[in-house]
A and B are shown apart, each in its own frame.
Chain A
């Protein structure tokens, strides 16, 4: 799996919706080069502004998130003009790909951990803004032991500094939407575990407030049944 590319030598490891990820070395460190490529369908003036803004935002927020105690990659270098961020290479797999292979116990453990991570972000006034299972890396333990399943949060391009209840709820609702949309077979169990982990960090009162707001957002959804 490990790349043997030399200093500065890179190779594409992943083409996402928004960015291409290249793996290489940076000052002797194993690094990932995240390049927000231009969208040809988007007007250039709009596209340039968005890519620049998200690059700056991501760099800033990854750093701030780390200060809150959440697990995020170390930042090495940022080039706003090129919409490029160089950061620590994290050995792990996207949660999206590992959810279905987790044991019932492992699933609960991982999502409780995730709930704790998100709660720590929220408690320090940060909203991730893009909490899909694509943006959570799971440090995979080949021995199958769930105790070492460590999480890393990535993709902070839509993150915000905020203290609004609404924004915290938007974060949780997105996890819920991703779970029911893409992992419907384990959605309710995973979401319950997430809330459990969240509660452990911020207490039951805060969980009640946020989940009530999540329900409020869902009620605002189009053609949602009003209860």
Chain B
């Protein structure tokens, strides 16, 4: 009888394998992160090569450190999408091979839903309004009628892309979120940037264009970082507040790579207080992409009979979370 699910994540820069128990204990979570050269972003093909090289070691380490035997494994879950095609395919190949060799079912997992479910597990939230902010997503979602529903999102760049692309323009190496946050904390001088809220949605492209131009024009890097954070985060918190007032949810949770930014979570916390909602941030170690989000969500899906065949276990680069039925939530 199995009791554990193996999760494989490979949507973008991170290749990771984790083992989670049915009770929600993370037994292992091993990762290898592809780092692009200074000034450039993720090259999908080069990232996938890095994943191919890392896969055998990461898989072996994750299985060994978990201490779980083959017979204890329920299923093999993997990130089916959304993400970068070449990267996704590495994860799918590893998942199919592992499932075939262990003769276990394969469970396809939507990466974004993985972030949310792992966040709920680790923060103990039941039915939160979720702010998902990363390199791939910037959206506010709430669960209703069997699916996660998008209550607002970016119309162009994500927060992660905004911080990364500006950082790279300034000569940093991706991901730049931590460095931008560090620089921002050294300034309190606000340089006006376009504040673009369209109903429930936001647009960050104007901020990026203006910020680059200001930097080229000689404005201080620290001041621009400060201003980017203050503007972009306030926009995101504003649409989250709108969704909170609209849905009347009692919990707010922030997940995804940018959840690690302390200024953003402070702003969110101020906002939630006024609505008497509880506020939760996914622990930093699990805010970015990791196998745990896939292993745990894989378990939830598998418990409701969500599996696929080896032949069907392909990838979906474009796969919005609001297209996914979620039978394990009421």
Contact = CB atoms under 8 A, between A and B. Distances in A.
A177 B200 contact: yes
Among A39, A41, A182, A225, which residue has the most Cβ atoms of chain B within 10 A? Answer: A41
- Among B139, B192, B318: residue with most chain A CB under 10 A: B318
Query: Secondary structure of the A side of the interface?
Result: loop
B299 to A, nearest CB: 24
B134 to A, nearest CB: 11
A16 B238 CA distance: 12
Contacts of B268: 41
B231 to A, nearest CB: 7
Interface string B115-150: 000000000000000000000110100101101011
A223 B158 contact: no
Interface string A2-19: 000000000000011110
Interface string A186-227: 000000000000000000000000000000010011111110
Q: Choose among A16, A39, A47 the residue with the greatest number of B CB atoms under 10 Å from its CB.
A: A39
A64 to B, nearest CB: 19
B241 A178 contact: no
Contacts of B149: 180-182, 184
Nearest to B83: A223
A46 interface: yes
Contact of B200 (A41, A42, A132, A223): A132
A223 B320 contact: yes
Contacts of A222: 82, 136-137, 139, 153-154, 158, 320
Contacts of A225: 318-320
Contacts of A47: 234
Contacts of B271: 39, 41
Contacts of B147: 184
A220 B154 CA distance: 10
A18 B234 contact: no
A78 interface: no
A53 to B, nearest CB: 9
A54 B112 CA distance: 34
A45 B137 contact: no
13 contacts: A17-B245, A18-B238, A40-B270, A46-B192, A158-B197, A158-B199, A170-B198, A177-B150, A181-B150, A184-B145, A185-B145, A221-B155, A222-B153
9 interchain residue pairs of minimum CB distance: A17-B245, A41-B267, A223-B82, A41-B270, A174-B199, A181-B149, A17-B242, A17-B241, A42-B234
Given A15-B245, A134-B245, A182-B246, 4 more contacts: A41-B234, A184-B147, A220-B155, A223-B318
